[in-house]
Structure 1
C-alpha cells in the first residue's frame, strides 16, 4: 500500500521529488537526574539538561499550579542553590527576573541547570523527602523550559538500592530511567520512591498495580487489594469498559506511612494516595474511599475532561465551571462504588458514611441556597488548598463543589430512575462514548462544555425540556433538591438527627478555662448567634445568666430549653462587653436512614429499587 501511494504521488507531483528531502527528526529529550544525598534533611539534588537550544536566553520556570489542584502553590519557594553550565561545564550567568523562574544567557546551545529542592510534605501536591522515601509531585519537583514543552523527557532517579519507583512514567532499558512523551505528561506523573510492596493483577486485559509504602502486615495489604479489585470492577461496569491506559497499565501509587498527609490526586494512568491511617479498621475503609474516588477519575476528569481545563496551564491558576461534575459526580460515585462492591457492607453504613453527609451539607449550607454549582466550581482557585491569612465569609457563601456536585448527582440519579426509566450510569456511559473514549497525544480529543453535559442529559432522558430545567434550576441556579421525596422510593428517610433539641446554631465553639466560650469561626446566616449579632472571635461570658464551665454544662443548659426559647447572652466583642437576646432553634442536623432503622415497612418494590441502584453491576 505504501508503494502504491508513493507511485501515485510521484506521477501527480513529479517536480516535488526533484527537490531536496528534509529529514524529519525527533527533537532531543530534556533529561533530568534526581538524587538524594541529603534525604534525611528533606533535600534532593536535581539536574536538568537542555540541548539543541536556540541562541536566545533560556527561560527556566518552576510551575505555579498542579494538575488536579486549582489554586497557586508557588513551588519555586523551595528551590535554591541554582547553577547553570554550558556543554563544556563552564559556568553561565543566571538571572532571576521574577519569583517563578530564571534566565540563562550566553550558552552554547546546551544548558545544564542544577538546583537543590526542599520537600517535606508528602501528599498529592508537594514533595515529601526523607531517609526512607521520596514522594514527588512533578510540578513541585522539576523545572521546565519555555518553548520545549513538546520535547520528550527522560528522568533518572539516583536512589538507594532498596528503593523502587512507583510511577506512570514508562520505564526505559537503562536502570531507574523513565520516559514521558512531553511536558504535560511529565507534570501529570507523580512518582513514589521507596521500598515498594507491589500487588499486580489483570482486568480486561490491562495491568492494574498497587505499589505501596506502609508499616502494616502483608495480610492487611492483601485484604486492601482484594477490596480495591472489587472497586475496579464496579467502576468499569459504570462505563462499560476500562480506559485504554497509555502504556498498558494503571498504578495506584500509595503512601501510607506515618509522616504522610491525607490526600488523593488523580492522574491519567495513576493516582497518588497518601494517608497516615493504617490499612486496618476504619483507617482501611477511609483509605479505600480515596481509592474509589481517585480511580473513578481515570474516566471522569482525566479523559472525560472539561474544555476549560484543557490544556492545563502550569503558570497560572486554572478556573473551571465544571468541577461540580468532574469532582462532585466523582464524589457521589466514589461512595456508591463502595456500596456496590461491598466495602460498605450494609445500606445503613452507606447512609451513615455517605448520604447523610451529602444531604446535610447541601440542605444546611447557607452558600448552597445562594449560589450555583457553577459558581462553586469557579471558586476553586481560592479554596482548593489555597493559602491566605485574611478571614473570609465562606461559611455563608460557599459549599464545596465536591458536596454540591455529589448532592446534585444523587438528585439526578433519583430523577432519572423515577421519571425517565434510565439512570446516572447510563448518562455517564453516554458522556464517555461521546467525549471520553477518543484520545489523541495523551489528551482528550473532544473535551466537553457545560452545554454538552446538558445536551447529553436530554438525549439520555429523552426529554430536552427536563434537561434544560434541571440545569437552569440546579446547575446554573441554586434550587435545593427535595431529598425527602427523592429518596422515599429507595426506602430512605431524611429526618432531623436531634429532633426537638435546642441549638445556638454554632458550627464550632471553643471552651475556655475561664468558663467562657469563644466563637472561632464566622456564624451562619439565620442561626441564633448570627441573628443576635454575635460573630467570629466574640467571647460568650454568660448564657442564660450562667458561665459555661465545660462542654457538659453547655449541653445540660441547652437540654433545659426547647426551640423557640429566648435566653440572654453576655459577650465580649472587639474589646467591649455587650448583651443580647438569643432565640434558640431546633438543631438543624439531618440524617438519612433506611426505613428499617426508622421502623417502617420495606416493600418488595423498595428492595428492587435499592438493588437496581446500590447492587453490584460487575459481571
Structure 2
C-alpha cells in the first residue's frame, strides 16, 4: 500500500513529457518454432486519439537496400485495454492502421523467419537469431519511447543481446527505437565466454556444435583482436551499459554474415570453429569489432539517424566499410593470427588485384560506389546488370584506398593511418549524446582531418580529388616496395580469355558469363549467355580440355571461336591476353634481396601495437 502511494506521488510530481515515456512492451514466444514461427505481442499505451500507425521496417541498420520485412508478418490482430477487437486497415504494404482504441493498443502477429544472418530472422527448434527490424513492429510517433522486451523461452534457451537486462522484470530494455532496432538478439543454448578489458565487459555468446576447447582457442584469438583494435584508437569506447557482446551463431543452418551494432555485433556462419574455417570466422569478428568505432560512433552524417522507412544512401561507405575492411585483416596480422605471407595472400592480393583489374574502379569513384549500396547490399533483383564493368564494392575500393593512404602517410608525411583514425575518433566519434554520435562527419570533415594529420592540406585535397571523389588508381607497386612487397602477375605468361566460361556437359559447350570491357571476349563481340561450341575447331569435351587447349597458346595468339549468339551461329577470331590476376608477395618469396630498411618499415606497419 505504501509503495503504491509513493509511486502515485512521484507520478504526480513528474512533468507531462515524462508521463508520456511509458515503455512500448514487447513479448515474443515460440510455440511453433519447428515451423519457423514466432508469436509477437506489442502493447502501445497512453496514446493520443486517432489511428495508430504500426509499421514494419523496410530497411535495417548496416544494410542499405530495402528488405520489406512486412512480407513475413501475418495473423495480425489488435485489441484495446479491455480486450475489445479493433479495426485494422492496410494503408500500404508496409504496415497497418489501428482505429478506435482507448489509448492502448495490443498489437499481435505471427512472424515467419528462416534465414539466420545479420539481416533477417532465423527461427527453428534449435534457436532464434533475430535481427530486430525484421522481427518487431513499431508505431509512428512512438520512436522516442523506451522499449521493454520479454522472451518466453523454450527450455534450455538463454538470451544474448546488447539490450540492458532487467532481472527484476525479467525483461530487456532499450532507451528508444533507434537503439532497439540496433540490437540483434540470439536465443538458444548459449556458450558464453567473458572477460574484462579496460574496465569493460567483453563477452562471446556462441551457438555452435564444436568443443569447448575450440571455443576457448577462438576466444583467446578474439581477445588479441580486441586489444589490437583498441590500440589503434588509444582505448575502447564507453559502451553504453559497460558491455560489448559478440552475438555468434555457427550452426550448420546459418548463412555467412557479419553485422555491426552499437554495443554488439551479429556474427553468423555455417563454418565450424576448427581448421581453416576459424580464420574466416575470426576475420568477420575483427572487421565487425572495428565497427564499434568506425560507423557506430564515428558515423557519417547522411546515415544519422537511420531511417527505417526507406533505403539509406551514404557518400562515405568507402570509409565506413572500406577502411574497416582494411583494418579488419590488418588487426589479424597484428594479433599474430596471420603471418606476413598469409596477409599478402588473403588481404593485399585481394585489395590490390580488385582495384587494378576492375573496370569499374577505373571508371567511377569510391564516393559513387558508396552511393550504389541500396542496389547491391543484399538487394534482390531479377534483371541482369552490367556491374562487372561499372562497379567495385566499396569494401574493396575503400580498403584499397585505405592501404594506399596508410603507405603514403608512412612514406611521405612521418605519420600513419592509425594516427588519422585516432584524430577522426577524437573529433567525430568519442563524444556521444543520447546513444548517438554528437558530431557525425561529412566528406569535408574527413578531408580536413587528413590535412591536419599529414600537416599538408594540399596533399589531403589532392588525395580526395584524385582517389576518393575521382577514380585515379594508386601505384601499388611503388607504394609496397619500401615494405619489401612485390606486385606481380600470379599467372605470368598464361594465355586467357579473361572471362568466365561455364562448361555444359550435356552438349560439350560452354556458356559465356558477363564479359569485361577490354577483355578478349568483349573485344571479339561475345556477350553474356553466348554459347561457345568450338575453339580452334575442337569440341569442348570438358572444362579441363579448355584449359589444356589454352595452355598450348601464348598471350597474343588468335584462336577461332565458334559460338551461338542471339543472332545465330558465328565464328570469330579471339586474341588471347595474359591472365590479369595479380598477387602481392614478400621479397623473400620472390627471391629478391630485402634490406634492413624494408624490414623495419614492414614491422612498424604490420607488427602488433597492443601493450
Taking structure 2 as the reference length, the TM-score comes to: 0.97
CA–CA distance in structure 2, aligned partners of residues 488 and 200 of structure 1: 42
Q: Does 1:53 align with 2:43?
A: no
1:264 Cα shift? 0.1
- 2:582 counterpart of 1:574: no
Which blocks of at least 5 consecutive residues in structure 1 are unaligned?
Answer: 1-19
Matched, 1:129 2:143: no
Deviation at 1:303, TM superposition (A): 0.1
Aligned to 1:589: 581
- The answer on whether the counterparts of 1:513 and 1:549 sit within 8 Å (CA) in structure 2 is no
1:548 pairs with 536, 540, 552, which one?
540
Q: Does the 8 Å CA contact 2:501/2:510 hold for their aligned counterparts? A: no
Q: Deviations over 1:60-97 (max 9, x none)?
A: 00000000000000000000000000000010010011
In 1, the alpha carbon distance for the partners of 2:344 and 2:314 equals: 30
How far 1:544 sits from its partner (Å)? Answer: 1.2
Number of paired residues?
598
Query: Which consecutive residues of structure 2, in runs of 5 or more, have no partner in the other structure?
Result: 1-12
Larger deviation, residues 367-376 vs 574-583:
574-583
Residue of 418, 438, 454 corresponding to 2:447? 454
Tell me, yes or no, if structure 1 residue 289 matches structure 2 residue 279.
Answer: no
1:391-430 deviations in Å (ceiling 9; x for gaps): 0000000000000000000000000000000000000000
Residue by residue over 1:99-145, the C-alpha shift from the partner in whole angstroms, topping out at 9 and shown as x without a partner, is: 00000001100000000000000000000000010000000000000
Match 1:534 to one of 521, 526, 529: 526
Question: Quick check: 2:81–2:105 contact (8 Å CA) kept in 1?
Answer: yes
Query: 1:143-190 CA deviation, whole Å, 9 max, x = no partner?
Result: 000000000100000011311100000001246410000000000000
- The residue number in structure 1 matching 2:420 is 427
The secondary structure found in structure 2 opposite 1:509 is: strand
CA offsets 1:204-249 (integer angstroms, 9 cap, x no match): 0100000000000000000000000000000000000100000000
CA offsets per residue over residues 290-339 of structure 1, 9 Å max, x none? 00000000000000000000000000000000000000000000000000
Deviation at 1:513, TM superposition (A): 2.8
Moved over 6 A (4+): none
1:182 aligns with 2:176: yes
The change in CA–CA distance for 1:307 and 1:103 in structure 2 (over 3 A counts) is: same
1:412 aligns with 2:400: no
The answer (yes or no) to whether the contact 2:56–2:94 under 8 Å persists in 1 is yes
Q: State how 1:3-82 maps to structure 2 within 5 Å.
A: 25-26=18-19, 27-82=21-76
User: What is the RMSD computed on CA atoms of the aligned residues?
Assistant: 1.0
- Structure 1 residues 124 and 508, CA, compared in 2 at 3 Å: closer, same or farther? farther
Using the size of structure 1 for normalisation, the TM-score is: 0.96
Given candidates 531, 553, 558, the residue that maps to 1:561 is 553
Equivalent residues in 2 for 1:107-126, closer than 5 Å: 107-126=101-120
Report the Cα distance in structure 1 between the residues aligned to 2:168 and 2:572, rounded to whole angstroms.
Answer: 74
Partner of 1:617: 609
Matches within 5 A, 1:94-243: 94-174=88-168, 176-243=170-237
| SS of the residue 1:25 aligns to | helix
Counterpart of 2:365 (choices 372, 375, 378) is 372
- The alpha carbon displacement at 1:507 in A equals 3.7
Is the contact made by 1:86 and 1:110 (CA closer than 8 Å) also made in structure 2? Answer: yes
Deviations 1:510-565 (A, max 9, x none): 3433111111x310000000001111111000111111111221111101111001
